[in-house]
A and B are shown apart, each in its own frame.
Chain A
């Protein structure tokens, strides 16, 4: 059994059921029933930005919604965050329905349990870095002392402590997005929405911030809904990835599931462009151990690319693949790696 194909069972943090979002004449009017929304979507005058989307997002999971522009990924995020009201369907956070919640209650939920990071940062130009991070705390009426403390913690976390008094215009794009992240984290939310957070950054900075996010998440365990149009970003940061096209979900699964078993040609096209050694984990590529003692070992959670150096040192393998507790899961060698990246499943096949 490997962890990759069956993800950790998590408590559901955020879920949506049968979400529809129509645009067009009378689209603001919510639909009373599923039949109604389907017939309205089918009559040709409305455009369905989302059709029948259902998802369960687990606690502490980075859930990536990936799609090209016009696929409905941003609309989905906006519906989950209630920035846009779905035409039909229900969104639940911790078992409470956001869609049926009153304005005041929703406001309280947002003040305490939600944060959002925007593609173009959304920083207020007249406030300093610290002022921007403090704003959501001020909005919810936090006292000055605990506010200062929370701001300092958030700045420390994102490596901005030295820049607290600068203005956004004096920062680089990467630093501005760190401020955006710090602001979203400042209220201590359980749920973060990230709307293409790194798309406006150049590739090197993007990589750096992706690593930063993964590092932060290791300590924070927030639930994150992360929207991107970049497939390699999706498989890099996501615990699970949903691929959207034309307002529908095409495939939902762990990055490894998706690269190894693309649901259709559309998904396969994206997979063709990524470096599989950075997606597939050693545990996935491993075959049953052929002996009990190896000179070299790698972690099963590591990606194949992480094992490359050890493999080279071992003259091409085989080397041990270990579980988190140090137990032996199996072994890999060059042949196993090649088989994994060429799309052939080795699980269960004898050498």
Chain B
């Protein structure tokens, strides 16, 4: 393969100039003519209506099948309630807060020692004292229900993809790519239409959203197993089933558990978003608070999401690493388990008589809502000018120029440049992909919204890179700062994307700048992480060689570290772009006018066609950006020396 095509660049320039010149001569080349658009959205809506009409028995059956375990878990964790099974009605009380909290803290103690137990205890205390317990348990119930479905389906899909590499390459991987880049919102629309407004469709959307990473991890974990393990399975005379269940999956378990943890976190993230179609719980509280601009309540519920996320994440990680160290088989926990279950049952039953055991007494609860409101009011009164100055500065000097440039760019010119870029970086396939994606946005009449989306992502990416790369380099150079930075990044990544909006909106009001800052807060994390990782991965032999040559630290950075780290950093920027795309949709809540807004509007109108088409546009743009970045990273990466086995 040729390393570079310098001549292609000389072709690119005149072609772009020619395209721009043509575009200025003819109006059809500047703005895509309305008459050329295709009624894609309407067709999708119509066929969806046909499907819905004919398959309602199936969806209803499906919904009923899911509803039974769902009601049970919701009843136990949160609300209590009557469960009817074959005419036999069972009145279930909710498990008491005291018993549940005890069980959570005990599990933390058993698996992660006093540190984890303390963390879990603090988490429970926050949820209880700030009156978030019930909502948090409702959210947890959704997670508990969704995770097994996502896990099971993900593992099965992953195994199938691993068994049939060709199917994986041509069908599974592209579909998973699309599923991961199509924003979560877009899933909500069809499920809403098929299953109606309510917890069941929220659950289904959640499962669809959380499934791809598990499938990916499964395929990856199985194909990364050392050759000796697969050979071992064959040489022991395993049947296919034995090989899979007794050798391969157990050997892949550490990685699978990491995937499971990721699935749990994605589920939580999606449960929050799915509150828009009736999942209830913490997400709904935040949404309500955002709509009413009730900052105090929003912050408390948002913080509760973060607390819940951290509790789940830490517990999950400890379990995952415990397995690989073989501690999962500890024997002494039998008695403790019985005691804790007894306490759980006992407090629940006692709660029927003694109310404070059942529901956390309201007189014990505190709220910082009014304090928060006055704090925000104080900030706005005293710092309004400063904040406003920053806002206007960003808007005038960075955002507006990019927005205007992109919005007024003639489509023909943009298409030419995208195609050329694809060709130079990755050959004709990438060029065709670029043309296809652009074409889709054009004929569906979503060109302007796409450009707005790209403008938001581009600005966010520019800000994130100029912020994240120096931070990452600093974190590498000063390890203590690096540790803090890692902690901050981990915290930012555990937070469901929703939560980012709250503080931003309360200080900067609704608008593009708020959206931008929320996006940057979300999308800067991969840049920092990848930069740090890239610098860590520079072989010590190279830096030592640099030191021996007498490099100053600036020269070392310029001539040794950056060139070696660049491909990885580029992948970080790629991730940053994809994160931005995912976040753009959420920022539709604060009134941007991009593809996310289209999806959001479609959601409120239950318009399957435009919701799906706008979601697909976002997904396709994401895939194109991803492929372009990957091609660029592969191009500048030094060739690995060939090793022959």
Contacts and interface: CB of A to CB of B under 8 A. Distances in A.
Partners in one complex: yes
A124 B251 CA distance: 6
A126 interface: yes
Interface string A77-106: 000010100000000000000000000001
B233 to A, nearest CB: 9
Contacts of A125: 251, 254, 324, 326
Contacts of A107: 237-239
Nearest to B643: A69
Contact of A139 (B229, B236, B323): B236
Q: Which of B226, B235, B242, B250 has the most CB of A within 10 A?
A: B235
B253 A116 contact: no
Q: Which of A69, A119, A127 has the most CB of B within 10 A?
A: A127
Given A69-B645, A122-B232, A126-B253, A108 B237 contact: yes
Given A125-B251, A135-B246, A169-B326, A140 B237 contact: yes
Contacts of B247: 124, 135
A140 B324 CA distance: 26
A138 B246 contact: yes
Interface in B289-330: 323-326, 328
Contacts of A109: 237
Interface residues on B, range: 20 to 34
Contact of B226 (A111, A114, A122, A193): A122
Contact of A70 (B232, B237, B242, B644): B644
Nearest to B225: A122
A169 B232 contact: no
A276 to B, nearest CB: 31
A139 B242 contact: yes
Interface in B218-234: 226, 228-229, 231-232, 234
Contacts of A119: 228
A121 interface: yes
Nearest to A70: B644
A128 B329 CA distance: 11
A247 interface: no
Contact of B237 (A69, A126, A139): A139
A141 to B, nearest CB: 10
A135 B236 contact: yes
Contacts of B251: 124-126
Contacts of A67: none
B228 A115 contact: no
A299 B388 CA distance: 98
B258 to A, nearest CB: 14
Contact of A116 (B231, B246, B326, B645): B231
B253 to A, nearest CB: 6
A136 interface: yes
A206 interface: no
A48 to B, nearest CB: 15
Contacts of B229: 122, 124
A138 to B, nearest CB: 7
A83 B253 contact: no
B235 A115 contact: yes
Contacts, number: 76
A270 interface: no
A13 interface: no
Contacts of A110: 234-237
A169 B239 CA distance: 27
A288 B360 CA distance: 101
Given A70-B644, A125-B251, A139-B242, A118 B326 contact: no
Contact of B228 (A106, A122, A127, A136): A122
B617 to A, nearest CB: 40
Given A111-B237, A193-B235, A70 B228 contact: no
A120 interface: yes
A124 B250 contact: yes
Interface residues of A, number: 34
Nearest to B235: A116
Given A69-B645, A70-B644, A139-B246, A126 B236 contact: no
Given A70-B645, A135-B236, A118 B242 contact: no
Interface in A132-146: 135-136, 138-140
A118 to B, nearest CB: 4
Contacts of A106: 237
Contacts of A118: 228, 231-232
Interface string B567-590: 000000000000000000000000
Given A107-B237, A126-B250, A135-B236, A83 B231 contact: yes
Interface in A243-263: none
Interface in B189-231: 226, 228-229, 231
B163 to A, nearest CB: 16
A53 interface: no
A312 to B, nearest CB: 46
A111 B236 contact: yes
B234 to A, nearest CB: 6
Contacts of B242: 139
B234 A83 contact: yes
Nearest to B644: A70
A139 B247 CA distance: 10
B253 A136 contact: no
Interface in A179-234: 187, 193
A161 interface: no
A107 to B, nearest CB: 4
Nearest to B645: A69
Interface in B63-90: none
A181 to B, nearest CB: 13
Q: Which of B236, B239, B246, B250 has the most CB of A within 10 A?
A: B236
A116 B250 CA distance: 20
Interface in B534-561: none
A328 interface: no
A157 interface: no
Nearest to A136: B236
B228 A121 contact: yes
A55 interface: no
Contacts of A121: 228
Contacts of B326: 125-126, 128, 167, 169
Contacts of A127: 250
Given A69-B644, A139-B237, A139-B238, A122 B231 contact: yes
Contacts of B232: 116, 118, 122
Contacts of B226: 120, 122
A81 B235 contact: yes
B439 to A, nearest CB: 35
A108 B237 CA distance: 7
Interface in A49-78: 69-70, 74
A160 to B, nearest CB: 17
A88 B582 CA distance: 53
B255 to A, nearest CB: 11
B644 to A, nearest CB: 5
A127 B326 CA distance: 8
A118 B231 CA distance: 9
Contacts of B228: 118-122
A233 B326 CA distance: 35
A19 B37 CA distance: 63
Q: Which of A106, A115, A116 has the most CB of B within 10 A?
A: A116
17 contacts: A81-B235, A110-B235, A118-B232, A122-B228, A122-B229, A122-B232, A124-B229, A125-B251, A125-B254, A126-B324, A126-B328, A127-B250, A135-B246, A136-B237, A139-B242, A139-B246, A167-B325
Given A74-B645, A124-B247, A139-B237, 14 more contacts: A83-B234, A107-B237, A110-B236, A116-B235, A120-B226, A124-B229, A124-B250, A125-B251, A126-B328, A127-B250, A136-B236, A139-B242, A140-B237, A187-B236
Interface of B: 226, 228-229, 231-232, 234-239, 242, 246-247, 250-251, 253-254, 323-326, 328, 644-645
Across the A-B interface, the 9 shortest Cβ-Cβ residue pairs: A122-B228, A111-B237, A110-B237, A118-B228, A136-B236, A116-B235, A107-B237, A167-B326, A122-B232
